[in-house]
Amino acid sequence: MKTTLEIPEPLFRKVKASAARQGRTLKQLVQEALSEKIARIDGVNRKQKPWMVLAGRLKHLHRENRRIERVIEAEFENIEPEDRQ
């Protein structure tokens, strides 16, 4: 797939020079760099956030939690002020 990227001139020169020193094309260097970056991000996300696989699994309990909070609040309104201490 072809795309257009805006790269600051100083960075472009560094990348192009690095590719030339390695005997590679700019395209090869950019593809490898992007692949490595994505792999690193994916690896970090898996290692540091194993709990994320569980995120959202209890969202169905949201309404029940609100209902319980209303029941508790109603009960506390029935307590006499002098008994609250």
Q: pLDDT, tens digit, for every residue of 5-42? A: 899 999 999 999 999 999 999 999 999 999 999 888 87
**Owner of token pair 């898996």:** 46
Percent of the chain with pLDDT over 90: 48
Q: pLDDT, tens digit, for every residue of 34-68? A: 999 988 887 766 666 666 777 778 888 888 999 99
Domain boundaries, the chain: 9-80
User: Cβ(24)–Cβ(31) under 8 Å?
Assistant: no
- Helix crossing, 26-48 with 9-21: angle to 10°? 100
Q: What tokens appear for 71 in the block?
A: 């029941």
Helix count and strand count (H, E) for the chain = 3, 0
pTM: 0.48
The number of residues making up the chain comes to 85
**Owner of token pair 């009960």:** 75
